[in-house]
Chains A and B, each alone.
Chain A
Amino acid sequence: MKITYKYFYTASYLSIIVGLISLLLLNINLLFQTMFSINFSLQGLGILLGIIGLFNSHSRTPGVWGIVLNIFSVIFIIVVTFISLTINYQP
């Protein structure tokens, strides 16, 4: 039982760490004015780990936290890319 709890707990915290890494990459993109990567595999992994964490009451809060960070990264990239295309778009 304790081993199962540890797995969920680790998955939740890994989800937060993956979310932080994707946010860090966003910050680097913004600071150096480079293009955002449209590859969402990192955020996908973070969301998956967060969902695993949701299945245990002890790891639920960090699981939600990780999911929120990763979803924010995805929404940020999609919204900014979409809006940028509508401003002075040059094909």
Chain B
Amino acid sequence: MKTENDSYINNDKQNKIIMSAKRKARWNTILLMLSIIFLILPFGYLSTVIYYKVNDRANNEIFVLETIYSLTEPNLQVDDTQIELEFTPFFGLHLSAPLYKEIGSETLKAGSYDSNLSLGFKRNESVNLTVKENTMNLRDREFSFIYPNQDIPSRLMNGLDKLNEIPEGTVTEAFLSLDKSYAPKEVESLLSDYDIKIVWNAVDTGLEDEMIDKDGSVVTPIGYPEENTAPSNSSFTEEDNKDLFVEQLNYLDTQKKITTSIMGEVSIASKERLDYINQNGIKIYGVVITGPTKEIQELGTQEEIRGIHIGEVEFWNWNR
């Protein structure tokens, strides 16, 4: 039979049990808090990676960027093999890529492109060029090329005089505006007598006269590199530079959201341009060429060349 004293736990023992329970609860709370804190970053990162994987968002970001540079920046290309991509927790994506220009026989680094996407949509981008920037004055709609029926501005008229000032033994990048829109084959034969290389072709898409789309936004010149190749890992199938150009423009039309976020206030008017190209075919009204300065000087005197804009000049590296 239990006595009254047996049924009670003495004070010391009670204190010990309470202290032990408190200690256990404290450690449980600490471990729980640590678990929650350490899970926040991995959960954020995992959500980010899955978010950019769904619908191939990250790859589309890369392909759109490469395609935009390829089609809208004459002789300025993103090297798709050197694009670096970093996810940051909470839907951040950092893209960085070197930019290249072809001058003479060499492909030279022209700068770098960086873009930070936060929360999956807010873009903060910076382009650091180590070369002369392509002419793109949106307010006055001045670009490196002039459309055939437009008056030639002085900046393109004195290109030949500038070429005369450049010493021999150099190679030059030149933006030539033609007297009318030619078929690509005609352009090739027009330039075939000269020891130069065509780098980029400016395509007539029906908007180049005004450089404004149907919504009133300024459009960028558009065209394709002469050696137009699809980015690795992309789903582009065409191999011919012109067909690939149309495929790329179609692709940009399907990726309007990303395209707009990269282009900002400038429109690419992909739909309008595609409609025009489908009806009229591809016609070239300007080309970017590179080669020996004296050769370009000679070419510049041809009546088909209405305007010349001089880009980069480098020491002799011509070995074609």
- Within 8 Å CB of B39, what residues of A? 23, 72
A26–B37 Cα distance when bound, in Å, is 12
Task: State whether A76 touches B233 (Cβ < 8 A).
Answer: no
Q: Which of A39-47, A48-56, A77-85 contacts B (4 or more CB under 8 A)?
A: A77-85
Residues in chain B near residue A27, CB distance under 8 A: 38, 41-42
Which residues of B are found within 8 Å of A88, using beta-carbon distances? 58-59, 62, 83, 85, 233
Q: B59 contacts which chain A residues (CB < 8 A)?
A: 87-88
Residues of B contacting A73 in the complex (Cβ-Cβ under 8 angstroms) = 42
A30-B45, A69-B35 known; A83-B53 Cβ under 8 A: yes
Knowing A16-B31, A69-B35, A86-B53 are in contact, say whether A33-B86 is a contact too (CB < 8 A).
yes
Contact B45 A87 (CB under 8 A): no
Main secondary structure of the interface of B (DSSP, over half): helix
B235 contacts A by Cβ under 8 Å: no
Q: Which residue of B lies closest to A75 (CB)?
A: B46
Name the A residues within 8 Å of B249 (CB-CB).
none
Complex Cα gap A72–B59 (Å): 26
Does B89 touch A at the CB level, under 8 Å? yes
Interface hub of A26, A27, A65, A86 (most chain B Cβ within 10 A): A27
Quote the shortest CB–CB distance from B49 to chain A (angstroms): 5
- Which of chain B's residues has its CB closest to A69's CB? B35
Q: Assuming the A-B contacts A79-B46, A90-B81, are A30 and B41 also in contact, with contact meaning beta carbons closer than 8 angstroms in the complex?
A: yes
Docked CA distance A38–B42 (Å): 16
Is the beta-carbon distance between B41 and A20 smaller than 8 angstroms? no
Distance of A39 Cα from B101 Cα, bound (Å): 43
* List of B residues within 8 angstroms of A83 by Cβ: 49-50, 53
From B46, B62, B86, name the one whose CB has the most chain A CB atoms within 10 angstroms: B46
Complex Cα distance, B42 from A30, in Å, reads 8
Q: Which residues of B contact A31 (CB under 8 A)?
A: 41
Is B1 in contact with chain A by the CB < 8 A criterion?
no
Q: Contacts A30-B42, A83-B49, A83-B50: A20 and B35 contacting too (C-beta < 8 A)?
A: yes
A20 adjacent to B38 (CB under 8 Å): yes
Q: Which residue of chain A has the shortest Cβ distance to B44 in the bound complex?
A: A30
B232 at the interface (CB under 8 A from A): yes
Q: Does B34 contact A (CB under 8 A)?
A: yes
Inter-chain contacts of B233 with A (CB < 8 A): 88-89
Q: How far is the CA of A20 from the CA of B39 in the complex (A)?
A: 9
Confirm or deny: B52 has a beta carbon within 8 angstroms of a beta carbon on chain A.
yes
Residues of A within 8 A of B31 (CB): 13, 16-17, 20, 65
Is A24 in contact with chain B by the CB < 8 A criterion? yes
Whole-angstrom distance between the alpha carbons of A79 and B87 in the complex?
Answer: 14
Evaluate whether A87 and B85 lie within 8 angstroms (CB atoms) in the complex, with A65-B35, A69-B35 already known: yes
* CB-CB contacts below 8 Å: B142-196 with A: none
**Given contacts A80-B49, A88-B58, A90-B232, could you give 10 more A-B pairs where the C-beta distance is less than 8 Å?**
A13-B31, A20-B35, A23-B42, A26-B41, A76-B42, A79-B49, A80-B45, A83-B49, A84-B49, A87-B53
Interface residues of A (CB under 8 A from B): 13, 16-17, 19-20, 23-24, 26-27, 30-31, 33, 65, 69, 72-73, 76, 79-80, 83-84, 86-90
